[in-house]
Chains A and B, each alone.
Chain A
Amino acid sequence: MKPIASIIVPQESVNDESVVVLEMNYNNNDFVEKDAEVIEIETSKTTMSLQTSTTGYIIYNCSVGDEVEIGRCVANIYNEKYIEQKSDSKESIKPATEVKPESTVVVTTLFSINAEKYIEENKLSKETFAGKDFVTLEDIIDPHEIEYTIEKPATISQPKTKKTKIITEAVTEEKIPKQKKKEIQYLSSVQSAGLNSVVNTFVNCSGIFEFIKESELQLKKSLLPIIVYETSRLLRKYPKLNSFFQDDSIFVYNDVNVGIAMDMDKGLKVLKIKDTDKLSIKGIEDEVLVLSNKYLEEKIDTTDLTGISFTITDLSDSDISFFTPLINMDNSGILGVSSIDKQLNRFTLSLTFDHRVTEGKYAAVFLKELKSRIESYSNEIRKTELEQKSERECFKCHRRVSKSMNENIHFLKVIDQNSNEKILCNYCLEGF
């Protein structure tokens, strides 16, 4: 059966790719008059109703709450009552938030034994995890994995700031330079919502510089390349920090382009390291050097300034113990690097994040992992890892506790001549 008319989502705002269905005013197969308002939708600007252009029986192709792409048909009008299942036609509308595994594999959610136990004990609903492939205990307690990805819209609407002028006698007005104005505009886009929050952590940096000294890195005193490197990789795992909030949606960037805030007497600029997550540490360092030269020589292109998905601001040479960085426009997070406390051999990392996009727990888990990744560069950690491992081996044959696959091997704690506790395997005890 062919419809006699279709109701299509119109393009109302240049930036909208989709609208949300708020209400459906009729039931399927209801008779509707020409010009009847049949469905309520919400665009980024406003809510509106769509009308039918003809009289007939209506069949909806969507449900309340669906996000429907512009140009999609939300309902059809037929000459007579429609008998087929509407679910067929619904197939054609894929909500933009749905996970699309590019694979033909059918996903059936698997819960680890621990996850299963936890769900049972806490009487949770497994439904919550529908659409996931594997659910671990961590996924339940710490659900940091994002469930959806959205393409970034081609253009981004600039938030409109109303012009109000304060003139009082008690102050002297000083015109803000153009540069500063830009900065304000840039920062206020996220800050103005006032829903930002900060998490801080100390990073122990003893031993890292030894690593850098031995490495091919050029900047022997800077941790920035390592921090940028690890951050960019973690952003893949924590995509909510590689996104931005707008019009009640979260837009996740497809690429990781970390921006580095630079302020060396030529104005604050955030410069982009393109595809940061694909570069090596050395590659990142090279890129930082290239960008700072461009900055100093004032040869920055617009491409160096746009498309930044996350920002890092390094104030480590300003002798500060910690600060709260401000999130840039079209970002949901910024990482601040403070100076190293030489006595305690540590420095602060501060992550400001947009609370509309994610929560403190997510940010904290991110920061914790970043911290441990950075600390893993320490030559000392490498050494102690090895030492710990070697402790757990037979002191005679060096057979490792963790490495012995044979179930017949046992280890005993023994006391040697010097009253030191040692580990001995049964083979060495019994002799061969």
Chain B
Amino acid sequence: MAINHRQIKEALLIRYVEESFLNLFSRGKLNGTVHTCVGEELSAVAFAGQLKKQDFVFSNHRCHGHYISFTKDCKGLIGELMGKGKGICGGIGSSQHLQNGNFYSNGIQGGIVPMAAGHALANKLRGNGNIGVVYIGDGTLGEGALYETMNIISLWELPLLIVCENNGYAQSTEQKDNLAGNIVDRAKAFGIKTFDSDVWDENKLLENASESIEYIRKNQKPAFHLVNLYRLNAHSKGDDDRDVSEVNKYRERDFINKFSKNEPHLYNEYMEPIIKKVDNIIADFDGQDELDLKEYYSDNLVVSEEKTWTELQNIKQRQVNLMNQFFDNALKNKEVVFIGEDVKSPYGGAFKVAKNLSFNFPQQVLTTPISEGAITGIANGLALAGFKPFVEIMFGDFVTLAFDQIVNHASKIHHMYNKKVSCPMVLRTPMGGGRGYGPTHSQSLERFLLGIDNVKLLAINTFINPEIIFNNVLKEKHPTIIIENKTDYGKYIGPPQITNYKFIANNEEYPTVKALPVLSQPNLTIVTYGGVAHHVINSIEKLFLEYEFKAEVIILTKLHPIDYLDIVSSVETTRKLVTVEEGSIDGGIGSEIISNVVSKIPYYVSTLRIGSLPIPIPSAKSLEEQVLPTSNSIVNSIKRHFYEANS
């Protein structure tokens, strides 16, 4: 297969656009940074350029060439890098964060690989025959997410081509300093078919690329394509410590340089319209405005509306059964996917939320390898492709392994691509101790998940039917994290019996529950959520009998963003605010609530945060009880803080 003139022109266009970027940069017209692919253009032309429109591409920091070859849109790209509102992502993403149709790039090495796998999974589930390419650099071979994903795409036979652009360097680091073993052997170890090419034999490259693409399209299996190439410019700008003679050697071998030398007429003929086009675009954008902050960010304050409160009813069903029923229903929609470790039945997940689901929906209930990062990334990719994925992280403690996908991907996707796409993924996980599982299976880490931009944080409890919450989550357009509690799964849903207390809930999507004295005015506000709410409820009576506190307990379901109205109006009467969370308190949810409440009211409010002791949760029973908040420790802390201080 010989390179054709459309492809040559495409390579020339990429080079001229990128050289223009460097030029703009040196004239101060580009904010931030650029990573050019000068010398590597043919890899873009060969893979991204030979895909169909319905296929997809995920790329990385060095993505301009891939973008142009796949989308053929150099105007949107130039505007974007010039930071203009009319750029393809409104100037938000710039060089490393592009999205246009099925093209996505992001600046976290390795993070895009599981997302691409998720997109490929979506294609496979839809059976549409489309495939995708994900580009990585050789430096990214150091990232774990890549290997988690290679394992999964091979196992699940996902139609995804990993193109590894091997330029021998990762930023400033030479390959000999960061890579062991052999590159293609890595893919082979996962049973993935491999291909090997380089840009110096352009015809062979195009042919091999086409062959690997067709292999995937035909077999609906993944492949790994190593492309050896060389970056002729600095990693980004001016950061080049490589030997000049080494670089020059590759300049001579470069296809475009050879073409301009060997075919000067053709070269000039092709370049003339390219130069004209690109220069005109730049001139056009030059005077244009950047995006107005108002268009980028609208302050979606939680607006408190009049709420109706109704008394809670007992539902004679356990929390876990109601959740299971919800999924059994929700999965009837073919675009809902349940993904997690050990979720296949008969086992049905560590806490049995997925019981029997895989029997009824074998395509949509996916049991996975132990790869929290990859499965969360796959969920992100599924969500981008229009699916509604629910990831189950077996134990809350393991959520840290999914953190990059939550914070750098799910959270950012909607805004960094200037709100053209969104990522409605859902991640559920059980937090909490009380079962003796010890330090790595008992902690409550929700404080680390609090306040992630554009990510809702919910905590279910045993007062509200979880189906209400999950049905609303199903409609969410943005990422949602649901905190569950291990000790709650087996409990029945409904209000507990506390003498002279009523339990009411409001009619919001994620209802807040209040426990109130039936007649008396409360004189203490306690805000809590999730599993630990039980301990709070169990402390009510003692708090009254021994210390004369008539507590109003507010049990939140939505932890981020929080609607403060109910808390503030309670504190207005009680002037005493206690927060109870199961995790330790520093930098926690209590801190967040208290700082917000205090900033909303001008008078002095006495406050107290209660949580676990700041040490790993011990397994030994008596120790565990002392470390976690219990109704006794809650009463004692409140007593010490408010009661003894006053007497």
B502 contacts A by Cβ under 8 Å: yes
For A385, list chain B residues within 8 Å (CB): 604
Chain B residue with minimal CB distance to A237? B521
- Chain A's nearest CB lies how many Å from the CB of B533? 19
Contact of A133 among B520, B546, B633, B645 (CB under 8 A): B520
Chain A contacts with B in 361-406, Cβ cutoff 8 A: 373, 376-377, 381-382, 385, 402-403, 405-406
For B572, list chain A residues within 8 Å (CB): 233
Chain B residue with minimal CB distance to A385? B604
Given contacts A134-B500, A233-B572, whether A105 and B518 have CB atoms under 8 Å apart is: yes
Q: Which of A110-118, A268-276, A308-316 contacts B (4 or more CB under 8 A)?
A: A110-118
Chain A residue with minimal CB distance to B572? A233
- Contact A211–B502 (Cβ < 8 Å): no
Q: How far is the CA of A136 from the CA of B547 in the complex (A)?
A: 9
A219 contacts B by Cβ under 8 Å: no
- Contact B500–A105 (Cβ < 8 Å): yes
Q: How far is the CA of A105 from the CA of B502 in the complex (A)?
A: 6
Q: Which of A110, A377, A382 has the most CB of B within 10 A?
A: A110
For A96, list chain B residues within 8 Å (CB): none
Q: How far is the CA of A406 from the CA of B640 in the complex (A)?
A: 12
- Contact B604–A133 (Cβ < 8 Å): no
- Contact A107–B602 (Cβ < 8 Å): no
- Chain B's nearest CB lies how many Å from the CB of A266? 32
Contact of B613 among A109, A115, A131, A406 (CB under 8 A): A406
- Chain A's nearest CB lies how many Å from the CB of B548? 4
Instruction: Render B477-514 as a binary contact track against A, CB cut-off 8 A, 1 for contact.
Output: 00000000000000000000001111000000000000
- Contact A145–B633 (Cβ < 8 Å): no
For A403, list chain B residues within 8 Å (CB): 637, 641
For A108, list chain B residues within 8 Å (CB): 499-500
For B633, list chain A residues within 8 Å (CB): 405
Given contacts A134-B544, A145-B520, A405-B637, whether A103 and B502 have CB atoms under 8 Å apart is: yes
A104 contacts B by Cβ under 8 Å: yes
A281 contacts B by Cβ under 8 Å: yes
A81 contacts B by Cβ under 8 Å: no
- Chain B's nearest CB lies how many Å from the CB of A203? 14
Q: How far is the CA of A112 from the CA of B499 in the complex (A)?
A: 13
Given contacts A114-B548, A134-B517, A134-B550, whether A377 and B602 have CB atoms under 8 Å apart is: yes
- Contact A112–B500 (Cβ < 8 Å): no
For B502, list chain A residues within 8 Å (CB): 101, 103-105
Q: How far is the CA of A103 from the CA of B516 in the complex (A)?
A: 11
- Chain A's nearest CB lies how many Å from the CB of B114? 41
For B297, list chain A residues within 8 Å (CB): none
Given contacts A112-B544, A136-B548, whether A281 and B500 have CB atoms under 8 Å apart is: no
A420 contacts B by Cβ under 8 Å: no
- Contact A132–B548 (Cβ < 8 Å): no
Q: How far is the CA of A109 from the CA of B545 in the complex (A)?
A: 12
Given contacts A107-B519, A133-B500, A233-B573, whether A402 and B641 have CB atoms under 8 Å apart is: yes
Contact of B499 among A110, A132, A136, A233 (CB under 8 A): A110
How many residues belonging to A are interface residues under a CB distance threshold of 8 Å? 39
Q: Assign chain B's interface to a size class.
A: 20 to 34
- Contact B604–A376 (Cβ < 8 Å): yes
Chain B contacts with A in 595-640, Cβ cutoff 8 A: 602-604, 610, 613, 626, 633, 636-637, 640
Q: How far is the CA of A114 from the CA of B517 in the complex (A)?
A: 19
A84 contacts B by Cβ under 8 Å: no
For B240, list chain A residues within 8 Å (CB): none
For B636, list chain A residues within 8 Å (CB): 405
- Contact A99–B519 (Cβ < 8 Å): yes
For B279, list chain A residues within 8 Å (CB): none
Contact of A104 among B311, B546, B547, B613 (CB under 8 A): B311
Contact of B519 among A114, A133, A138, A226 (CB under 8 A): A133
A72 contacts B by Cβ under 8 Å: no
A417 contacts B by Cβ under 8 Å: no
A187 contacts B by Cβ under 8 Å: no
Chain A residue with minimal CB distance to B645? A402
- Contact A133–B518 (Cβ < 8 Å): yes
Contact of A105 among B501, B548, B626 (CB under 8 A): B501
For A138, list chain B residues within 8 Å (CB): 548
A215 contacts B by Cβ under 8 Å: yes
- Chain A's nearest CB lies how many Å from the CB of B47? 58
Given contacts A105-B502, A233-B573, A405-B636, whether A132 and B602 have CB atoms under 8 Å apart is: no
Given contacts A101-B518, A145-B521, A233-B573, whether A107 and B546 have CB atoms under 8 Å apart is: no
- Contact B499–A101 (Cβ < 8 Å): no
Instruction: Render B2-33 as a binary contact track against A, CB cut-off 8 A, 1 for contact.
Output: 00000000000000000000000000000000
Q: How far is the CA of A103 from the CA of B640 in the complex (A)?
A: 33
6 A-B pairs with the lowest CB-CB distances in the bound complex, closest first? A133-B500, A103-B502, A136-B548, A376-B604, A133-B519, A112-B548
Chain A residues with CB under 8 Å of chain B are 99, 101, 103-105, 107-110, 112-115, 131-134, 136-138, 145, 211, 215, 226, 230, 233, 236-237, 281, 373, 376-377, 381-382, 385, 402-403, 405-406
Q: List 7 A-B contacts (CB under 8 A).
A: A103-B311, A113-B546, A131-B519, A145-B520, A145-B521, A402-B640, A402-B645
User: Besides the contacts A108-B500, A112-B547, A136-B548, what 16 more A-B pairs have beta carbons closer than 8 Å?
Assistant: A99-B519, A104-B311, A104-B502, A105-B518, A110-B544, A112-B544, A112-B546, A138-B548, A211-B602, A237-B521, A373-B603, A377-B604, A402-B645, A403-B641, A405-B636, A406-B626
